[in-house]
Structure 1
Amino acid sequence: MTQLMGRPILEVPDGLGARPGRADLLTGVRTALVGLAVVGVPVLGLWVATPYARDGAAGATRLAGALWLLGHGAPVLRGGAEAPLTVTPLLLGVLAVVQLFRAGARVAARRGLRSRWGGPVAVWVGYCGVAVVVVVHCAGGGLFRSRVLPDVVAVGLLAALAVGAGVRSAGTVQARTSRETAAWPVLDRLPVWARPTGCAGVVRRSALAAGAALVAAGGVLVVAAAVSDAAAGGGRGMAVLGRGSVALVGMVLLAAVLLPNAVVWGAAYALGPGFAVGEGTVVAPGGTALGPVPEFPLFALLPESGPGGWRLAAMLLPVLAGVVPALLLGRAAASRTADEEPWHPVATALAAVAAALLTGAGAAALAWLSGGALAGGRMARLGPVPCWTGLAAAGWFAVVAVPGALLVRYRVLRPGRPGPAARTGPAGHARRTAWLLRARVHAAVVRLSGRASSAEAS
């Protein structure tokens, strides 16, 4: 019994060490089963706690499987009318991507670069095998029903992209460093003075920082809406949650799963285009036009219909978020080594525009993933419009990051201030060495004078 309890759960047996194909296949199966367990355990727990559950255990497992498929972006059908449900719970999607990414990286690191495609393919096959079983099981009926071919394709595509990214991340440090310091081939057509040399890594980091700041802005708006609703008495939210303990727990868990979607919608709100909660609706800083919405805790945080007014202040958040990439790009433009010249102002502006475009592409992708259809008819359109959200993000960050990066570059390189090369080059090392030498001589003189005074006193 002690040996069984000490053995890791779902660990690959030692006898499969000489059979890497089976071990990698089981790695994919284990990754899928862990994701299913994360979704299935709360669903089955709520089913057990429900005193008058209409469906049996098969219905609960179908519901868990449908939620797992939705986390991969796979569409499902809801109810007897077979209304489409395509809203992807981003929290479940991030969980699946992280698991697949780590599985691909582990397999690639274990097998080496020469056979890196053999192991990841087996991981992908094992994961998709579990997905096929789940899709077939959920196609039988219940509250949510899967669509066999689209669901299998969606899960397979996501698994291939995530595992491939994990395999690529397992490359050597030298290759990763060369990618960070490289420039894009499209910049080779520019004059030499206008090229931001080695900008690829800096632009990627700046775009990631801008995206993280934009997501943080969306989170701030969600928290502000929750605080405002609570300060107003929380009538809308509490009316939704006051339906018994099991319904309360289920609603809270579902709201937690969809909370990243609400954060992305909040970011789209701060950018200006806003989002929709049904056909013919808009929720934006300039004004809100809403119709009847489903009773759900997150929908209780929506603003009331009417003009924006003071809510236009939310558009200041993207301005503050654009300061982060401006600082990164400006310091990178001026922080050159002794053998390299700082970026020209034109090159600095081009790097800032490239970071803004990457940020816009990421914002459009997140807007597309976070929205979808909740049902047919009026609720067939929820979430931000991807193209408008991406254009707004790129425009905001270009307007803020370009002049901000130029200003930071000027302040670092302004006359009278030693530049980064002077502080880090041979002259800078010589100055630091001279300063340390003077400090040591001063300390020695103080010690000798102290000893002399004590000798005279004696």
Structure 2
Amino acid sequence: MHRLLIALLAALDAIIAAAGGIAVVFAPLTLLWVFGLDGGADWGALWPASGAIWQAGHLVAQTVTLPEVYLATAGIDPAAATFTLSLAPLALAVFTAGFAARSGRRAAEAGAPLIGATAGTLVFAAAATVVALTVGNPIVSAEFWPAVLLPTLVFAVPALLGAVVTAWRVDVDGPISRLRERVARLPRAWAVFPALLLRGTAVTTTGLVGAGAIVTAVAVFTGGADVVALFEAANVDITGGLVLSLAQLAYFPTLVLWGASFVAGPGFALGAGTAVSPAGTEVGVVPGIPVLGAVPDSTTTWLLLLALVPIALGAFAGWMLRSRLADQGRPRHDDADGGIGMRLVLTVSLAVLTGGVAAVFAVVSSGSIGPGRLAMVGPEPGPLALAVGIETLVGAAILLLSPRRTRATPSTPGEATQRKGSADLPAHPGLWRSISAPPMYVHSGSDEASDPAPVVTAAADPEAAESVDDNATEPLEGLRGSDEEDALTEPIEPLDGFPDRDTGRAPGSSVD
């Protein structure tokens, strides 16, 4: 595909991502203006409000300044008239990141990953600049450069990751392909190191987010009565309740990351000097946001067992990576699964990268929701990264660094037969039948007793047995030759006292 066409399609993706995010915010506000208000609000105020919410969803901190009339009506201390709102409704950022990753992947599949990611990023940056220049108002405002750079990063990073990962998998020309060829020249285990590290990190982080989603859902279910009570205390009509529900839905990814921090152990805060963790809960006065009714008033020490979840995720990732390393190695070598040095580096790298991703989760899911003590809400990056890194390290080390029992391969077939023991069958079934068949005593026709001929049986030659093809019809090596054939086929005289096959009487006995 022509590179100009790829750039145009990437630019179209960026425009759709920006316009779609703003439309998701603008539509509920329009419904609120049409059905929920008595015509006192200006239609022109909808765009600044929508743009400010879109910026907040892309990690841009908003400075809120309440008017004096509202302060007097609500009885709010004038000292709290200005505060920062920086806790992001991450649903908008997730929407943009998903669109960006898809755009980067499509550009890579078309053969121009970097061109597509760059074009989309520039167009999205232009859209963020337009929003920053047009949404200013006396109540909510943001600094210009963060309002442009942060939304651009939310689009650029997933777009670049999607392009690079896809270009690494597909065969395209360019710097990514050349880098992949250089990595492929490394030793066998080290050549797959980047792919294994990313795969293991994806397993641990996805599992941690999934565990956080489960914990959040359980908390909302168990605290449903408090959530409903806070909805009723808000005293809003149907339209207001719908808008309030959509706003809380936009914060659902943020709450999921809070749940992931709760699972890992450090938990999160709902204000300065508060903590919500498995070790204990101390929240004080909770803001009257309905979804915060799901926050438990107290916890039990049994919830500390949730820390086993990140350890189990690390162990699962370690098992998966150890299996793939073994597949890359060669049999009958001590370093078939990469060697202890390579596995140690992989374990530490997995823990560090997973802890780094957890720190990013804490940064994007924390911030301020009001003045005073509400300026500190969410998990802290340092404790969360440390806890997740250590837990992942312990779990991954159990499977990646533990010695693995391997089946020893004997150097000669004779050693293999000796290890099997006398009760085991030899390797060649035809040889076993010739050895284990009972001796046949054939009457030679003479009535006189004679010494029986020695019974000759084939000696199991393990080396011959291992080297003979199952489909071969030739006699086995070691049984070939006239002496052996005669010994196996010549008639054998019966022993004294054994009955004659034809008459059923002993040789030499008279017949009545």
> TM-score range, shorter-chain basis?
0.7 to 0.9
Letter in 2 for 1:379: L
Q: Which residue of 2 aligns with 1:123?
A: 120
In structure 2, relative to structure 1, the CA distance for the partners of 1:351 and 1:166 (3 Å cut) is closer
Select the structure of larger CA radius of gyration.
2
TM-score by length of 2: 0.67
Q: Cα distance 1:201–1:22, how it changes in 2: closer, same or farther (>3 A)?
A: closer
- Structure 2 CA distance for aligned equivalents of residues 414 and 177 of structure 1: 38
- Check whether the contact 2:55–2:151 (CA below 8 A) recurs between aligned residues: yes
Contact 1:241 1:251 in 2 (8 A): no
Q: Which moved more, 1:160-169 or 1:60-69?
A: 160-169
**Once the two structures are superposed, what CA deviation does each residue of 1:99-142 show, in whole Å capped at 9, x if it has no partner?**
233334545665x54x954x655433332232222222221234
Any conservation in 1 of the 2:215–2:259 contact (CA below 8 Å)? yes
Task: List gaps (5 residues or longer) in structure 2.
Answer: 67-80, 410-469, 471-512
Letter in 1 for 2:143: R
* Worse-superposed segment, 329-338 or 380-389: 329-338
Equivalent position of 1:199 in the other structure: 193
Residues 44 and 61 of structure 1 are in contact (CA less than 8 Å); yes or no, is this contact kept in structure 2? no
Tell whether the 8 Å contact from 2:201 to 2:354 is kept in structure 1 after alignment.
yes
- Counterpart of 1:209, as a letter, is V
Q: TM-score, normalised by structure 1?
A: 0.74
User: 2-side partners of 1:120 and 1:345: how far apart?
Assistant: 38
User: 1:276-425, aligned counterparts within 5 Å?
Assistant: 276-305=269-298, 308-338=300-330, 341-406=336-401, 410=404, 413=406
Q: 1:126 to 1:349 in 2, by over 3 A?
A: closer
Aligned position for 2:432: none
Query: Is the 1:71–1:89 contact (alpha carbons within 8 Å) kept by the matching residues of 2?
Result: yes
Corresponding position of 1:157: 153
CA-CA distance at 1:151 after TM superposition:
0.9
| Residue 274 (structure 1) shift | 1.0
Residue 263 of structure 2: aligned partner: 270
**CA positional deviation for 1:261:** 0.8
Q: What's 1:209 paired with? A: 203
Asked if residue 45 in structure 1 is aligned to residue 26 in structure 2, the reply is: no
What's the CA shift for 1:244?
2.3
Larger % of helix: which?
1
Which amino acid is the alignment partner of residue 358 of structure 2? A
Whole-angstrom CA distance in 2 between matches of 1:262 and 1:269: 10
1:88: which partner in 2?
88
CA deviation after TM superposition for structure 1 residue 370, in Å: 0.8
1:24 CA drift (Å): 6.1
Residues 357, 394 of structure 1: 8 Å contact kept = yes
Any idea what the Cα deviations from partners look like across 1:404-449, whole Å, max 9, x if unmatched?
3345x726x3569xxxxxxxxxxxxxxxxxxxxx9xxxxxxxxxxx
Amino acid in structure 2 at the alignment position of 1:69:
Q
Deviation (angstroms), 1:280: 1.0
Q: 1:28, 1:127 within 8 Å by CA — same for their partners in 2?
A: yes
Note the 1:103-114 alignment, pairs <5 A.
103-106=103-106, 112-113=111-112
Partner amino acid, structure 1, of 2:121: W
Deviation readout 1:178-237 (Å, 9 max, x if unpaired): 87898699xx9xxx99x755322112111110111111111121122122213x675545
The answer as to whether partners of 1:120 and 1:164 remain within 8 angstroms in 2 is: yes
Q: 1:177 to 1:285 in 2, by over 3 A?
A: farther
Opposite residue 156 of structure 1, the aligned amino acid is T
* Aligned length in residues: 390
The answer for the alignment partner of 1:221 in structure 2 is 215
Identity over aligned pairs, percent = 25
2:137 maps to 1:140:
yes
Counterpart-to-counterpart distance in 1, 2:127 and 2:311: 45
Residues 367 and 183 of structure 1, relative CA distance in 2, 3 Å threshold: farther
Using a 3 Å threshold, how does the CA distance of structure 1 residues 53 and 246 change in structure 2: closer, same or farther? farther
Task: Give the aligned partner of residue 422 of structure 2.
Answer: none
Identify the residue that residue 61 of structure 2 maps to in structure 1.
75
- Quick one: which amino acid aligns to residue 133 of structure 1? V
Gaps of 5+ in 1: 1-16, 417-437, 439-458
More deviation, 268-277/49-58: 49-58
Cα distance in 2, alignment partners of residues 213 and 140 from structure 1: 42
Assess if the C-alpha contact under 8 Å between 1:180 and 1:200 holds in 2. no
Larger RCO (alpha carbons 8 Å, 6+ apart): 1
**Alignment correspondent of 1:7:** none
State the Cα distance separating 1:21 from its structure 2 match.
7.4
Alpha-carbon offset, residue 362 of structure 1: 0.4
Distance 1:222 1:157, change over 3 A: closer
